Structures are given as C-alpha cells and as structure tokens.
Amino acid sequence: MTVMLFLLYADTIAYLKALDFMIVSLMRVY
C-alpha cells in the first residue's frame, strides 16, 4: 500500500514538472 502511494506521488511530481517545463517553453516561444 505504501509503495503504491509512493509511486502515485512520484508520478504526480513528474507530471507537474513536465507540465511546468512545457509552460516555460511556450512562454519562451512567445
């Protein structure tokens, strides 16, 4: 159970980082 929570947490962090990177890239383009 704890492992599943940790994986979900890590996945969420990675997703947020990717989203943040995409937003920054778009802002640099415009």
Domain ranges of the chain: 1-30
pLDDT for position 29 = 84
Encode pLDDT of 1-30 as tens digits: 689 999 999 999 999 999 999 999 999 987
Amino acid at 1: M
Structure tokens at 20: 């943040």
Angle CA(9)–CA(13)–CA(15) in degrees, nearest 5? 115
| Residue entry with tokens 């989203």 | 19
pLDDT for position 1 = 64
In whole angstroms, how far apart are CA 29 and each of 10, 13, 19, 25, 26? 29, 24, 15, 6, 5
